[in-house]
Amino acid sequence: MSQDWSDPKLECDLVMKGGITSGVIYPRAVTELARTYRLRSVGGASAGAIAAAAAAAAELGRASGGFAELERMPDDITAPSPAGGSTLFRLFQPTRAAAPLFGVATAGMGSKGSTAVRAKVFATLRWFWWALVLGALPGAVLAVVAGISGGGGGRWAGVLAGVVLALLGAVFGLVIAAGGLLGRLQGWGMCTGMAGYGGRNAPALTPWLHERIQTMAGRRGSGAASAAGGSGAAGGSGAGPVTFGQLAAAGITLRMMTTNVTRYQPMSMPWEARGYYLDPALWRRYFPDDVVAWIEAHPPTVTGGTVRDRYTELTHACARRRGLVPFPAPADVPIVVATRMSLSFPVLISAVPLEAIDFSRAENARYRKEAEAWLGGHPDADVEEALAALVALPQFEPNWFSDGGLCANLPVHFFDSPLPKRPTFAINLGQLAEGRAPDPDPAKNTFLPTHNAVGALRHWHSLTPRGLPGLLGFAHALVTTSQVWVDNAQLVLPGYRDRVVTIYHSGAEGGMNLAMPKEIVDALAARGRAGAVKLVDQFAGEDPGVTPGYGFENHRWIRMRTSTTGLHGWLGAWGTGYRTPVPGATDYADLAGSGAEAPLPSYQPGAGQRNRINHLVDELLTLVDDWTADDAVAKGAPRPTPRLRLVPEEGVATFEAPTVVDSGAALASDPAAALLPDGGTGLGQGGGRFPY
């Protein structure tokens, strides 16, 4: 196998699905793609976010051996750990309080049948013997008393009742003890990602990931001493954590999903949302010291002397009084931070807290109003004077960020455009049917549509409407549907499904199997490579960069057909809505279009701008008539036919590589642009950006 990553002829984007330890599939899939393609945009969620961060770092360090380092990762994680077991297993280190739960949950991993059951029993006895004893004690006392003092049949009935009560009491004690420990989990997770119980000098997940990112990016030896450095282009050791801005300066875009469960909101990182703060002391429980020191040394830049700028400075000062520091501007966010916030798998890996101001609360709305008014009336006053004068100060509250895969586990939409300039590949993960073993040939455990008629059918999951297993299966189907329906809808679309390779694993592989032996990890890694080979063969062809591959040519044509078909439907609906009178409402033709002069309720343009809008609307109506005059565009279009629709903006940073050169200051568009004309924000109604 060639180890040459020096001169790829083509470019691609790549998105990877979450799957906990199934992520071992990705390293050699990425390195295989990187031989032919330069990775321009990379994204993922959960375990896919780890792979995306590693891929972006390896691309940044391509010239210094980044992909060679990534190629070795499956071997490295199966190496013996100084704490016993494999490196992979010991990356997950529980807190001391969660150690009993973790010990029972992981007991017997890698074993089957009675061996696994015995391991669970022994782990339960080891960690919860005291709960079993205390729970069983009343029944044991009853049995002993009955055996000593009773007589005849009543004696044995009393003993039997005591034994039954002891067994039930033991179970009850176990449940109460386990429930109590669950209630004490830090951030609702057994592992914080940092060093924990039983680690015995073994690397924990977040420091290990941080070190790997630095090494693959060619940053060996960076540490806390460099945390005050700038966020310029990639350099050697001592350059601080790899940031989104440094990737962008090298022409690499990285995005990943996280979930703000406090707001029921999936969010892409890096985000433009301004108004998040963190407690450095608390964050050192989740991140290495040099990462937190970097964040402390890189607050978002505030320039200018407008009321908005001074309001930002004032809010920062309020945060400092609480011991908080502002979350960095997008360019200065270390990619290990976003990765960790994406992989917070519930119960296993704890959620990460940030602080923010809820402006729907009366006291916070009062602070904003008073602060803006006072700053506007005292243009020469400094922040300390404002703090002394204000009665109302903001209240900061925690926002908890958990698994990015909760709402978008395969965010294939990250880098899509109507007419792609390069392929956006996606690696999907699937589980083999129950009872089916993986094929010895890695390629036969992967699937990539090779014809237009292939891949349009959704996968079925059989449900049994009987008994407890049937109920649990139904519940699992409900949760899974709510989690993946958006992703799966794109996986069957023409022009989308043809660039998604699915890699299958069995129930004993990947997922929550933290103790996978080397042979299973090697097999999964080999499947990842085999899936990437299929993508390269299909899209790059036999002479990459010279003769177009059939797959990419066909993909681009189908995208042309699907996008124009969607536009045909959207224009038709727009034209119908424009020309249909609505009782009790002003006609759209009086709002915009030839001669439109009706009063406008809001967002009023100037006279010249309104004339231009009217002219453009007339042109759009002509376009509507041309596009809907016949079915030339829609006839024979690929099925299922997509729809164009307006969707909410995700809040992700709008900069794209290679616009970032040096500093996040140039990237951070003024978030106060979300302020309403009267200085309000509308946030009390449940949305918008933060005034910052």
Angle at 355 between CA 354 and CA 359, to 5 degrees: 135
Residues 625-672 have pLDDT tens digits of 999 998 898 888 888 888 888 777 666 665 444 333 333 333 333 333
- What pLDDT shows up at residue 159? 85
Is there a domain that residue 621 lies in? no
- What pLDDT shows up at residue 432? 87
Number of structural domains, the chain?
A: 1
- What pLDDT shows up at residue 303? 82
**Per-residue pLDDT for 616 more than 90?**
yes
Residues 496-516 have pLDDT tens digits of 889 999 999 988 888 888 888
Mean pLDDT, range 572-592, rounded to an integer: 95
Is there a domain that residue 92 lies in? no
Is there a domain that residue 566 lies in? no
Is there a domain that residue 356 lies in? no
pLDDT exceeding 70 applies to what percent of the chain? 90
User: What does the alpha-carbon distance between residue 682 and residue 182 come to, in Å, rounded to a whole number?
Assistant: 38
- What pLDDT shows up at residue 565? 93
Mean pLDDT, range 85-95, rounded to an integer: 92
pLDDT exceeding 90 applies to what percent of the chain? 60
Q: Which of 188, 170, 197 is nearest to 97 (CA)?
A: 197
- What pLDDT shows up at residue 476? 79
Length of the chain (residues): 692
Residues 309-353 have pLDDT tens digits of 999 999 999 999 999 999 999 999 999 999 999 999 989 999 999
Is there a domain that residue 139 lies in? yes
Residues 193-238 have pLDDT tens digits of 999 998 888 999 999 999 999 999 998 754 433 333 333 333 344 5
CA 159 to chain centre: 56
Residues 3-59 have pLDDT tens digits of 789 889 999 999 999 988 888 999 999 999 999 999 999 999 999 999 999 999 999
Q: What separation in angstroms does the CA of 335 have from each of 57, 254, 255, 417, 434?
A: 9, 8, 9, 24, 37
Is there a domain that residue 143 lies in? yes
Instruction: Give the residue numbers spanning the domain of 125.
Output: 106-184
- What pLDDT shows up at residue 233? 37
User: What does the alpha-carbon distance between residue 463 and residue 167 come to, in Å, rounded to a whole number?
Assistant: 34
Is there a domain that residue 121 lies in? yes
- What pLDDT shows up at residue 670? 33
Is there a domain that residue 138 lies in? yes
User: What does the alpha-carbon distance between residue 654 and residue 401 come to, in Å, rounded to a whole number?
Assistant: 21
User: pTM (2 decimals)?
Assistant: 0.86
Confidence band (pLDDT; 50, 70, 90) for 150?
Answer: low
Mean pLDDT, range 567-592, rounded to an integer: 94
Catalytically active residues are: 46, 403
Convert 75-108 to b/e letters by CB count within 10 Å (16 or more is b): eebbeebeeebbbbbbbbbbbebbbbbbbbbbbb
Mean pLDDT, range 618-624, rounded to an integer: 96
- What pLDDT shows up at residue 683? 29
Give the contacts of 59 (CB within 8 A, at least 6 positions apart).
34, 38, 39, 42, 66, 67, 250, 252
Q: What's the chain's average pLDDT? A: 86
Mean pLDDT, range 106-111, rounded to an integer: 84
User: What does the alpha-carbon distance between residue 316 and residue 299 come to, in Å, rounded to a whole number?
Assistant: 9
Convert 179-210 to b/e letters by CB count within 10 Å (16 or more is b): eebeeebbbbbbbbbbbbbbbeebbbbbbbbb
